Amino acid sequence: MNKESKGYAIILYLIWPLSALFIALKNFDSKFGRNLLIALYTFLGLTAISVGDLERYESQFYKQASNTLGAAFESLLALQNGKFYNTLMSIIFGAFFQSHHIYFSALFLVYGYFLVKTIQMLKTINLRELTNFGLLFFFGLLLFFLLRPIPNLAFYTGGVFIVYNAVSYYNLQSKKYLIYILFTPLFHIGLAIYVALPVLLLLFKNKIWYYVSFVIFTFVIGQSSVVGAIEDLTVSKSETIITEKYNAYASKKGQNTLNKRYAKNEQSYNVKLQGLNIVLDAIWYCVPLGMVILYINRKRLLINQGLLQLFNLVLLFWGISNIMLNISQGVRFKMIFSLIAIGLFFQVYIKSFTEIKNNIFGTFLKLFVPILFLYGIMALIASHFIIPFNFFISNFFVELYSL
């Protein structure tokens, strides 16, 4: 895009923000196009309906807006705050704005930034060079996390932040990205287990058997062992966020309560949500299968040293998700694992295009990619409840004036 086209695109975005979606997708190969897509997340946040965790974020914003940074850091050090990122953003934006909509804009912007940057790093090819099947694959990857995780924004922003830094480490071989991963629990305390990821990467290096053994070990480890380890952390910390999360998610009572709640919610699902969950289950069966196929064919498909490193990295995410599946809501970790695994599959598709044509992995992709794209479309439709009608027709001037 030349300067004139960019200028018109910016003006059009301000008048009708939704136009950024079409321009961004058409020009995703350019930095300007990707930035437009990130900017659209800002407008989505400005207009978003408060549902799921967003409803709690709204009420917490007004409670925490008058808080001080000193008090926020004190609660963090005392292990009293499980979502420090939200608290910090509430204080910063609460000091200048009286509306949670501006706060939401910032939260959505951060999520969009890390997601779009991650997808770009996994793309490594111009879209116009892809076949129709390749484009279907790319858009399936993009749609997978585009909107559906937003109602659980703090957790999935942290999850995308992890994947972004992990992929950056894979691409750039800079250890600073491993250091950044250590800050992940600031987004959501439930992501604290990923602090082990940089340690394991440095410990295992490029020895694939270590990573495979880790995954096998996580299949063998029992629920009682995982829950017991978390329980040990709560023994002397009766007033911390760790104890609160243990009682809510990992304890027997907490798991029973959550399982009953999930069962009740599933009974109220309409046909569309039931279908969405069936397709998601299919993806969760396919992703481990794809990993196994890649391992069996590693000498043909992972001969590129970079691909082998990314494969090892994905194995760590797989093992961590296995561990956390022993705790209620562990499926969220499976979503993070699936995102980076799908990114790996796309990288193999690009870099080993000739090799997979007559390989079982190529056959696997022919089955998997349509399922992935179908899920992406269904997830997009199912996310309508956070998007108001004015998102499609309004603009920043109207929305800011109406606050």
pLDDT along the chain (403 residues), means of 10: 89 95 94 96 95 88 85 76 88 90 96 97 92 96 95 94 95 93 93 94 93 93 56 56 61 63 62 90 96 94 87 96 80 95 96 88 96 96 92 94 84
Q: 74 CB contacts (<8 Å, ≥6 apart)?
A: none
Q: What is the pLDDT of residue 321?
A: 94
pLDDT the model gives residue 72: 81
Tokens 């705790």 belong to 327
Long-range CB pairs of 89-93, under 8 A, 24+ apart, other chains included:
90/60, 90/61, 90/64, 90/65, 91/64, 91/65, 91/67, 93/61, 93/65
Q: What is the DSSP string of 100-135?
A: HHHHHHHHHHHHHHHHHHHHHHHH-S-GGGS-HHHH
* Closest by CA position to 106, among listed 82, 77, 76, 85: 85
| Residue 187 and residue 299 in one domain | yes
Question: Do 181 and 194 meet the contact criterion of CB atoms below 8 Å apart?
Answer: yes
Q: Other C-beta atoms within 10 Å of 256: how many?
A: 11
Residues 302 and 380 in one domain: yes
Q: What is the DSSP letter of 184?
A: G
Q: For residue 241, what pLDDT is reported?
A: 66
> What is the number of structural domains in the chain?
3
Taking the C-alpha atoms of 377, 382, 383 and 386 in order, what is their torsion angle to the nearest 10 degrees? 150
Residue 156 lies in a domain: yes
Q: What is the pLDDT of residue 244?
A: 64
Residues 294 and 347 in one domain: yes
8 Å CB contact between 345 and 246:
no
pLDDT for the residue 53: 83
The answer to whether residue 215 sits within a structural domain is: yes
Q: 274 with 364, same domain? A: yes
- Identify whether residues 399 and 342 lie together within a single domain: no
User: Do 282 and 167 belong to one domain?
Assistant: yes
- What's the confidence (pLDDT) of residue 313? 96
Residue 253 lies in a domain: no
pLDDT at residue 306, rounded to an integer: 84
How far is 357 from 343, CA to CA, in rounded Å?
Answer: 19
What the block records as the tokens of 118 is: 């991650």
52 burial via Cβ count (<10 Å: 0-12, 13-18, 19+): middle
Q: How far apart are CA 93 and CA 151, in angstroms?
A: 20
Task: Tell whether 87 and 111 lie within a shared domain.
Answer: no
Asked whether residue 2 is assigned to any structural domain, the reply reads yes
Same domain, 159 and 39: no
**382: containing domain:** 131-221+269-386
Whether residues 310 and 368 share a domain: the answer is yes
Task: Mark whether 169 and 94 lie in a shared domain.
Answer: no
Is position 20 within any domain?
Answer: yes
Q: What is the pLDDT of residue 70?
A: 86
Residues 149 and 193 in one domain: yes
Do residue 166 and residue 216 come from a single domain?
A: yes
- Residue 339 within a domain: yes
In a domain, 230, yes or no: no
* Domain contains 264: no
What's the pLDDT score for residue 77? 72
Predicted local confidence at residue 127, as pLDDT? 93
Query: Cβ distance 194 to 177 under 8 Å?
Result: no
